[in-house]
Amino acid sequence: MAVREKVGIVVSNKMQKTVVVAVENRVAHSKYGKIVVKTKHFKAHDEEERCQEGDLVRITETRPLSRTKRWQVAEILREVKKL
């Protein structure tokens, strides 16, 4: 069975050990053919609490960890600069 992965940007890290990741998907409109950007938010488990808002991360599907959390952070691809 293949492991599902997605790449997105962290939009919130206000919860303990949980981040919200926005994943963009570009699809053609069914009737008009114009490319439309659809954004979906996923809650992902971040055990070490290393993710900051704006980080680009890869998330992988896992067993249900809570009512809404079904993903975990696999790696941070690009970190945002801290001031």
DSSP one-letter code for 25? E
Q: Where does the chain show beta strands of DSSP type E?
A: 5-15, 18-28, 35-45, 56-61, 69-78
Exposure on the CB side of residue 17, measured as CA atoms within 13 A: 6
Q: Where are the domains of the chain?
A: 5-78
- Residues belonging to the chain: 83
- Superfamily (CATH H level) for 5-78: Nucleic acid-binding proteins (2.40.50.140)
15 token code pair: 């919860």
The per-residue pLDDT for range 38-74, each reduced to its tens digit, is: 999 999 999 999 999 999 999 999 999 999 999 999 9
- The predicted model gives 22-43 an average pLDDT of 97
In this prediction the pTM is 0.90
pLDDT value for 26: 97
